[in-house]
Amino acid sequence: MAFMDSSELGHCPTAQLLIEHEVPSRIAAKDGSVFAFSAEVADYATTRLGWTTLASKPPRDPSEIAIIAQQARGEGLDAVVLIGQGGSAQAPQTVTKLYSLEVTDEVPFKTMDALSPVYVNHILGSSDPARTLYIVSSKSGTTLEPTVLSHVCWKYVCAHLGAERAGSRFIAITDPGTELEHVARTNHWRAIIHGEPDVGGRYSALSAFGLLPMAAIGIDIERMLEDAVPMERLCASDSPENPAVWLAAFLYDNLKAGRDKFSLLMPPSKQVFGLWVEQLVAESLGKAGVGILPNVEVDAGILSDPHPDRCAILCNMDSDEAFEHARTCVHPDIPVFRLDIPDSTAMTRYFLIWEYAVAFCGWLMQINPFDQPDVESTKVATRQILYNQGGRFDVPENVWGNPAYEEFDLGSCSYADRVYVSSALLDALDDPHEDIDANAALRLLFCSIKDNDYFSLNAFLPFKGVGRRETLEKVRHRAADRLDICSCLEIGPRYLHSTGQMHKGGPNTGVFLVVSADEPFDITVPHEDFTLGDVANAEALGDFSALASRGRRAIYVHLKDNDDKYLSSFANDACSAISAAYALRTR
């Protein structure tokens, strides 16, 4: 792998600072006092540093995890389905996806982390439940999405196999004493594997949350951990050879220079690694009004202009020739950091580099890299909507004590029922109480974009089907091209456990378009009075509400249906609004 030359240490005060203060070795030693800039952060960090020695001192013998997986494989497996969200799911999804590109006879691995009935039915119907292993992964044991999805899967498997046989198809990974453990014991699941209370979800790549799914498709997890030990020791060293020090210095120095966004460039087939990086960085470093925004890209041409608010990290995962071509597309004014990742077996090493680097950035930025204080606001709002016994969800107040948003019915709109507009946008109108249609709301949103802002399209929609993602990507790319900003497409509910923290807790430079739709073929959640579609729509409104209450510029559009014709009409109007904003800028 290639990093900045360690001979440049004398020219990098940030790297020197980390080494002089022994930040790497103190974090590796689980010394929370290294975060002494805040007694609260230091105390919290002390309880969240178990990840630093997962490779060299695994808390559970990895051979025990491997045996559980081997027993399931020995009975014959057609598929492994991981039901999880956020940190509990992203790392195993990354390794298994890259592994599947290299090995032709592996057991298919699927991650159920979306609430779309189209998506859920596709996964359930794609394999025989008698030959499928369902891994339910939740650190807290009460995370909403895996809870409702596991209920749906359990009912489906019981319907095919009966309750007595169904338990043998399920494994739970959760911290000790959770509700998920209780459910697993009650229903006689195949196994319960405990997570580590001192390892946060997004730092759990080398814990049981990552290891069991990897082992289930045939990856040698014992060898993988052994291979990671030298990198773990290197990242823990107060040395100029420490790659995590250089990565942290690159990110932090660019942040201080106003480059608070980085594009992670990689081949399309490998971008799943970028989603893991995105979650780790955004949720760890986007809080207290500051943050570093990661943006996964596959087209280096998007950085052909100078972009003073961006830097780039180029992941060389295919060949030097492809990397060099990508490098020539990046404008010479944009700082570039290079990572060489040879294959899936190297991923554990890169998990460690990024985990240590992000922890170092937390120290440099003087924030807590291990909590997620603003994620909870959306969870609270979502549960209020779902369990409000049919009553209306009360509009929260914004930071100025006024209603955070207004709802507008769209009687004449061909594709949407209603639109919600944040007060941060309405306050810019001459008459903030005038009726607004979909076009006006979209124009208001895109015309609010300024230099150094970023745009995020947060979609709670099914991505299965020809052209669906491409339709949404059209909006994202139009915003990037015409308005010259960092533009993101985020998939709900996954982003709520990733960039969602940055959206609400980071700097107020984001502009957000949240979109959801009615589900014509919905799935009822067992034991509840709502459907999967209801949960997705509640999360969309809940997150928009949390954004609006923090004074963010945001609108939420609810489509009449997730049919392609409604999605295309919405995308066309969004692109027209972007063009209108571009015309105003260039007058």
Assigned domain for 51 exists? no
Residue with tokens 């045939």: 218
DSSP for 218-273 reads: T--HHHHHHHHHHHHHHHTS-STT-HHHHHHHHHHHHHHTT--EEEEE--GGGTHH
What is the per-residue pLDDT across 142-184, written as a single tens digit (0 to 9) for each?
Answer: 999 999 999 999 999 999 999 999 999 999 999 999 999 999 9
Provide φ and ψ at 367, rounded to 5°. Answer: -135, 170
Q: How confident is the model at residue 10 (pLDDT cuts 50, 70, 90)?
A: low
Over residues 27-33, mean pLDDT: 98
Statement: residue 195 has pLDDT above 80: yes
Question: What pLDDT was estimated at residue 462?
Answer: 85
Is 566 in a helix, a strand, or coil? helix
CA distances in angstroms from 276 to 90, 141, 195, listed in the order given? 5, 21, 19
DSSP for 351-390 reads: HHHHHHHHHHHHHHHTS-TT--TTHHHHHHHHHHHHTSTT
- Predicted TM-score (pTM) of this structure: 0.95
80, two tokens: 């492994």
58: nearest Cα among 69, 47, 46, 66: 66
Same domain, 472 and 534: yes
Assigned domain for 541 exists? yes
Q: Which residues pair with 512 in a beta bridge?
A: 456, 554
Question: What pLDDT was estimated at residue 433?
Answer: 64
What is the per-residue pLDDT across 220-259, written as a single tens digit (0 to 9) for each?
Answer: 999 999 999 999 999 999 999 999 999 999 999 999 999 9
Instruction: Kindly provide the residue ranges of all beta strands, DSSP E only, lying in 400-548, ordered along the sequence.
Output: 405-409, 416-422, 454-460, 486-491, 510-517
Statement: residue 6 has pLDDT above 80: no
Q: How confident is the model at residue 9 (pLDDT cuts 50, 70, 90)?
A: very low
Q: How confident is the model at residue 475 (pLDDT cuts 50, 70, 90)?
A: very high
Same domain, 82 and 202: yes
Q: Are 543 and 378 in contact (CB under 8 A)?
A: yes
Question: What pLDDT was estimated at residue 5?
Answer: 41
Statement: residue 3 has pLDDT above 60: no
Question: What pLDDT was estimated at residue 7?
Answer: 47
The last residue of a domain, from among 314, 343, 365? 365
Over residues 72-76, mean pLDDT: 94
Dihedral angle, C-alpha 64, 66, 70, 73, nearest 10 °? 130
What is the per-residue pLDDT across 358-410, written as a single tens digit (0 to 9) for each?
Answer: 999 999 999 999 999 999 889 999 999 998 855 567 889 888 889 999 999 99
Same domain, 360 and 421: no
Assigned domain for 361 exists? yes
Question: What pLDDT was estimated at residue 319?
Answer: 65
Over residues 446-473, mean pLDDT: 91
Assigned domain for 56 exists? no
Assigned domain for 511 exists? yes
Provide φ and ψ at 371, rounded to 5°. Answer: -110, 175
Same domain, 195 and 295: no
Question: What pLDDT was estimated at residue 2?
Answer: 37
Give the amino acid at 258.
G
Same domain, 36 and 122: no
Number of Cβ atoms within 10 Å of the Cβ of 198: 15
Query: Which CATH number goes with the domain that contains 397?
Result: 3.40.50.10490
Same domain, 206 and 238: no
DSSP for 486-507 reads: EEEEEETTGGGGTHHHHHHHS-
What is the per-residue pLDDT across 99-132, written as a single tens digit (0 to 9) for each?
Answer: 887 776 678 999 999 999 989 999 999 999 999 9
Question: What pLDDT was estimated at residue 520?
Answer: 87
d(CA 55, CA 8): 30
Assigned domain for 469 exists? yes
Q: Is the peptide bond before 493 cis (omega within 30 degrees of 0)?
A: yes
CA angle (343 as vertex; 339, 345 as ends), nearest 5: 110
Assigned domain for 370 exists? no
Our count of domains for the chain comes to 3
Same domain, 393 and 439: yes
Q: Are 110 and 79 in contact (CB under 8 A)?
A: yes
Same domain, 410 and 516: yes
Query: What is the domain range of residue 533?
Result: 375-585
Q: Are 304 and 311 in contact (CB under 8 A)?
A: no
The last residue of a domain, from among 186, 208, 225? 225
Assigned domain for 517 exists? yes
Over residues 180-201, mean pLDDT: 97
Give the amino acid at 77.
L
Statement: residue 501 has pLDDT above 80: yes
R_g over Cα of the chain:
23
d(CA 542, CA 156): 29
Same domain, 160 and 189: yes
Same domain, 417 and 442: yes
d(CA 11, CA 173): 46
Q: Are 546 and 382 in contact (CB under 8 A)?
A: no
Same domain, 413 and 456: yes
The last residue of a domain, from among 316, 346, 365? 365
Give the amino acid at 499.
T
What is the per-residue pLDDT across 321-345, written as a single tens digit (0 to 9) for each?
Answer: 766 777 788 999 999 998 888 877 7
d(CA 229, CA 174): 25
Q: Are 352 and 232 in contact (CB under 8 A)?
A: yes
Residue 485 or 102, more confident: 485
Same domain, 339 and 394: no
d(CA 427, CA 444): 11
Over residues 574-580, mean pLDDT: 98
